[in-house]
Amino acid sequence: MMSPETIEAMLHDRRFSEIVALTPSEIQAIPATTLCYYRGVALVHLGRAHEALSELTHAATDPLLFFWSHHWLGRAHEAIDDPSSAAAAFLQASSYWEVTGNLAAFRGAAIEALKRSSTTDVRRAELYEQLEQVRTAVSGVIGEMHSPDVGVRQAIDGMTAFFKDLRERQRDIDIQLSIIDDIWPDPFHLETQFPVAIFSDDHVHPRGTAQDNTRSPRFVRACERQYGHELKAMDLGCSGGGLVRDFLLRGHRAIGLEGSDFSLKNQRAEWRSIPKHLNTCDILKPFSIFDDGTQVASFDVITAWEVLEHLPRELLPEFFRNVRRHLAPKGVFVASVALFEDKDERTGAVWHITLESQKWWEERLAEEGLAVVEHTFETADFVRGSGNGPADWNAVTHPEMGFHIVAGRRDA
């Protein structure tokens, strides 16, 4: 008979489809609210956020599941681009635990609501006031604690750093809301005969492109340290466009290419704030990025975060040719590569279709004139595969889940 501990282990092993498919005979000993919780979390991971809402709402009626159910309700509302409801769910979660225990969930609500709301939004003003109150409370807790638990102290230190950065984030938001064309660097121009990867499961069954919008100012700064302060960057499989926006905010020129048109059609994440810098494109087919209308752009940094494992083996040569043709002589191609399965038994979607070793991928790079190069990136600098967020794996603590590649042109 299935136990909650067994389902928890399945969740940890990312066996989301199996959790959703559990039959009544397997789960008789599990409370209905507990099952709803695990089903809801699994559905969020599978990109079926709308279905997850009812499961998690029912789970939240259980006092023992109140906090985490509201946390995942917030994540589900984020996935369907409903920031107001996401903020409300996160705030519900934050009301249940004491300040030192609810900071991670509250932080997600704060950032999302502040990013998505207008300067006149009453909710934004209320939320910002509450953030200030929490900041004050956190400062008081730090002053009172003489020998705090290491984990709690780390959480407090993390949130203290977050509030220090909050003012700068608000400045970014105000820039975004101003919608003034000349605040951003000049955009690049894409030419392609294949604007959408119509046969990819990432387009047919959108999940990552419907949920992800990973940002990483740290990666941008790491690139600046290594390659200079006037960069040209291209992010392949850019999803919500968060990394492109981070490059633009530092004054660099950047472009993002995404195989699915889900984010474009739904105007989610950064597609409504930096539309001239995000494009749909099948990156497995020939494409050209132009700098001034005639010259093919030469990029200092080309990235692909958890993209390579989504690409079919037989089409990899064209992908790497696209990378090499647009890579500056001293430029770098940086990627995170996952090693774990990712599929949905219900729909038949398989998102991770090429699971191969690092050596295998390096051989594919070499076949197209690319080779691994020395670098000074730390794992924490990388956008994905670095524990960047609660749903991201970490190559240091879980090397079996994936690795990173930093490569350049062999003729450089």
- Is the predicted pLDDT of residue 88 greater than 50, yes or no? yes
What fold, for 4-177? Answer: 1.25.40
The residue assigned the tokens 């009626």 is 61
CB atoms within 10 A of CB 135: 17
Instruction: Give the global pTM.
Output: 0.62
Q: How far is CA 407 from CA 40, 117, 302, 330, 336, in A?
A: 39, 39, 10, 10, 12
- Is the model's pLDDT at 309 over the cut of 90? yes
Is residue 84's pLDDT more than 80?
Answer: no
Residue 250 pLDDT greater than 60, yes or no: yes
Q: ∠10-11-13 over CA atoms, to 5°?
A: 65
Q: CATH 3.40.50.150 residue ranges in the chain?
A: 182-409
Residue 111 has pLDDT above 80, yes or no: no
Q: What's the confidence (pLDDT) of residue 105?
A: 46
The arithmetic mean of pLDDT across residues 190-218, rounded, is: 90
DSSP state letters, 2-24: --HHHHHHHHHTT-HHHHHT--G
16 or 312: which carries more pLDDT confidence? 312
- pLDDT, average across residues 97-112: 48
What mean pLDDT do residues 303-311 have? 97
Q: What does the pLDDT look like over 174-186, one tens digit per residue?
A: 455 545 555 678 8
Give CA–CA dist 159/165, Å, rounded: 10
How much is the pLDDT for 141?
42
Q: What average pLDDT does this structure show over 212-238? A: 92
Q: The CATH number of 182-409 is which of 3.40.50.170, 3.40.30.10, 3.40.50.150, 1.10.1740.10?
A: 3.40.50.150
Higher model confidence: residue 65 or residue 128? 65
DSSP 401: G
CATH 1.25.40.10 in the chain, residue ranges: 4-177
**Dihedrals phi, psi of 123, to nearest 5 degrees:** -60, -40
Q: What is the mean pLDDT of residues 6-21?
A: 83
pLDDT in tens, 384-397: 999 887 678 899 98
Whether the per-residue pLDDT at 409 is higher than 70: the answer is yes
pLDDT number for residue 106: 52
d(CA 2, CA 30): 8
Q: Which residues pair with 189 in a beta bridge?
A: 290
Q: Tell me how far apart the alpha carbons of residues 4 and 15 are, in angstroms, rounded to a whole number.
A: 14
Q: What is the 3-state secondary structure (H, E, C) of 388-399?
A: CCCCCCECCCCH
Instruction: Name every residue whose Cβ is closer than 8 Å to that of residue 362 and which is 6 or more positions away in sequence.
Output: 371, 372, 405, 407
Mean pLDDT lowest among 153-157, 338-342, 351-355? 153-157
At 251-284, the pLDDT tens digits run 899 999 999 999 999 888 888 888 999 999 999 9
